[in-house]
Amino acid sequence: MMKNIIEQTESFIRKYGMIEKDDVVIAGVSGGADSVCLLFILCALRNKIGFQVMACHVNHGIRGAEADADEAFVKELCRQLDVPSRFFHKNVELIARKRKQSSEEAGRAVRREAFETMCREDGGTKIATAHHRDDNAETVLLNIARGTGLKGLCGIRPVRGKWIRPLLALGREQIEDWLREQKITWCTDATNAEDIYTRNRIRHNILPALREQVNEGTVRHLEELSVQAQEVWEYLEQGTKQAWERCVSLPRTGEHKNEGQGSSTPVYGEAYGGLLIGREAFRHEMPAVQKQLLKVCLASVRGGEKDIGTVHLNALAELFDRQCGKVLDLPGGVTAGRIYEGILLGKQDGDEKGNSGKTNGAAEVKPEEVRLNIPGVTFLPDGIHKVICRFVDAADADKAKEIPQKSYTKWFDYDIIKCSLSARTRQSGDYLVVDEKGSRQKLKSWFINEKIPRENRDKMLLIADGQHIVWIPGHRMSRACQISNRTEKILEIKITEDKKNVREDQSAGSGREG
């Protein structure tokens, strides 16, 4: 058994090119079964492959005497195996409070920092952790449950830069059986038996139920899924890099930067203050590549993938089909502007939310715009307003006069709508249609004539059809969209809002031509 498990791990190491001659491998050794197995196998292979092994142990300062006993165990083990070692002491609970993280997150972070420190100070070239097949299955299930894309299905990768996982081909039971056969002892962390951590609940409840009640090969099948996902992900990444070359450029800086003419191709995945994504080139890419390219571009401007979700990528993709001048606010103070050539991404100067109102290499910052679900319900970002849209039978057009004269319900001639309706605050170029002849009035002029306080103008909710403001809830609607005897499709829009801010008198009436 010992020979087989070592040979199996060696084959896995060579398959992925994890360790080469003259490498210095920093092994994370907690004292648990997995890390003890890792250390023994690395020591068995170090002379054969020609690398050095060093051990790194982190005492989290959580379990008191038990943690100290684990540290003493690892020290003695390293002495017996003639493995140089370093021991780090961290107050993980204090660090978690300071960083506003859970103890799990803080623990992972301090271990990672300790490994990196050893690499930097002790000449390490690789960092080996003791993740195995069951850990990978737990990770895939956790990612699925929390919501994930293809990347999350990849689970734990065998190699990621200098980080390697030599035991991924082994299962937890296989590891522990081998240690018992070799009469090798290990430490048991009592917290691993508790179900207070999400991963432990998957380990103790979900995976056993899947094995016993669905398929005993669940872990192996999840591993196979993970490997397939990794292969597809690598292919997708390669395609995304090629698409970056075709679609992405740096915006031209200077007086006419809003024209967005690109100059040179930026380096894939590097940080930039602004990027231009060309519309024509982008639309020829495959959908999977399009979405991943948008994520890479957004992360490059934002400075990381944190808080970037599917909803943001979908909104960004939809922006390509919107009118020039449309602008979308995205996480991390990033603004996406629709221009003639495509989409211009820029990072707002100032704080995380971009309160300065200025961007670096992108279009001017404009208010967030939310496309309405027609028919359907749209929740607005302020958490207060909800917009409900439904179609009304044209035969009921005469009932328009019966609609209560309140600010939150209106009927519109949907046949007149040219673009997708959106809820937003004002933008440059907005206008109203003020009479039956189609005469236009700038929204700014309307604000002045109606004596709307300047400090309120940027906050007022508008329902817009492109630059055409079809409704100012609480005030008036555009004459162009009022229903008539010629109307074939009627759209009802109802807005729930804080009624203390609602003005009951409306100059445009019920929404029907008189």
Which residues are annotated binding-site positions?
30-35
Q: State the binding site for ATP.
A: 30-35
Spell out the alpha helix ranges (H) of 421-475: 443-449, 454-457
Q: Compute, in degrees rounded to 10, the torsion defined by CA atoms 237, 238, 239, 243.
A: 90
Output b/e per residue, 161-197; b: 16+ Cβ within 10 A: ebbbbbbbbbbbebbeebbeeeeeebbeeeeeeeeee
- Strand, helix or coil for residue 471: strand
Q: Compute, in degrees rounded to 10, the torsion defined by CA atoms 127, 130, 133, 135.
A: -100
Q: Which of 364, 381, 281 is nearest to 327 (CA)?
A: 364
Cis peptide, bond prior to residue 375, ω within 30 of zero: yes
Q: How many helices (H) and strands (E) does the chain have?
A: 16, 23
Q: Which amino acid is at 35?
A: S
Q: Which amino acid is at 485?
A: N
- Strand, helix or coil for residue 256: coil
Q: CA-CA distance, 428 to 478, in Å (whole number)?
A: 18
String of DSSP letters for 108-165: HHHHHHHHHHHHHHHT--EEE----HHHHHHHHHHHHHH---HHHHT-S-SEETTEE-
Task: Give yes or no for a contact between 511 and 490, defined as CB atoms under 8 angstroms apart.
Answer: no
